[in-house]
Structure 1
């Protein structure tokens, strides 16, 4: 008759194999060292990530500051240009009125050279015209 020993569950065999591989106390010491070092590994990883982030962020901060400064200069130039355009529009409007008056004076039925000259002279003497 064939009598065989009862087979151990699979997980027991795996556990025994792992303990055998670890070599008893020496393997357990290695596992304990890894568990203790785990916190240090996390801290080192966090430091590395922080350094990398700062390396990437600092040039961006510098560029943003440059762009903000350029935007302020551009806004100031835009304001000055708007004011200049407003002044030029007023001047063009004023000159257009003057040309219209002169045209009316020249094309009038009773226009004379003396009357047109007097009108132009009066416009040039006007202190509000300069």
Structure 2
């Protein structure tokens, strides 16, 4: 006896013609239990938004916690910088006044030197000129002793 020939392959059905992803989705829905599974998926999607909001709140609180000490430090540094700027302005003003005084004294010394080296200079005329220059400086109020800060 001869074996009957194998049956022909079944014709393609609509299920075989459906895309693979649709078959996977339908299988997952069947495994999850239909409507109960869909409710679970919906709950997870809704809670995911809540989790994101909570995560954003935590990140915001953490950022504020880190930023506040930095703001305090920046305020301290700005105050310190302002103090240093004021000290620098005062030092520059003092330096300008001292520089002017040095220029004035050099001019006086140059005049005295020129007077001393002249051929007809006498001790009496030199003393008189020095005395007059000193008196003039005292009366004009230009002779002021300034603390140097060195001592």
Could you tell me the TM-score, scaled by structure 2's length?
0.75
2:104 counterpart of 1:123: no
What is the Cα deviation at residue 3 of structure 1?
Answer: 5.5
Q: Could you say which structure has the higher helix fraction? A: 1
Other-structure match for 1:19: 29
Pairing of 1:3-42 with structure 2 (within 5 A): 4=10, 6=13, 8=15, 9=18, 10-42=20-52
Instruction: Tell me by how many angstroms 1:125 deviates.
Output: 1.7
SS of equivalent to 2:10: coil
Count of matched residue positions in the alignment of Structure 1 and Structure 2: 130
Tell me, what secondary structure is at the counterpart of 2:23?
helix
Q: 1:3/1:111 Cα in 2 relative to 1: closer, same or farther (>3 Å)?
A: closer
Following superposition, the deviation at residue 87 of structure 1 comes to 0.5
Which runs of 5 or more structure 2 residues have no equivalent in the other structure?
Answer: 1-6, 144-151
In 1, Cα distance between the equivalents of 2:74 and 2:22?
Answer: 63
Query: What does residue range 85-100 of structure 1 map to in structure 2 within 5 Å?
Result: 85-100=95-110
Partner of 1:44: 54
Query: Which among 64, 81, 90 is matched to residue 91 of structure 2?
Result: 81
Change (3 A) 1:81 1:12: closer
What RMSD, in angstroms, separates the aligned Cα atoms of the two structures? 1.9
User: Would you say 1:63 and 2:73 are equivalent positions?
Assistant: yes
Q: What's the CA shift for 1:69?
A: 0.9
Report which of the two structures shows the higher radius of gyration computed on alpha carbons: 2
Q: Distance in 2 between matches of 1:107 and 1:3?
A: 134
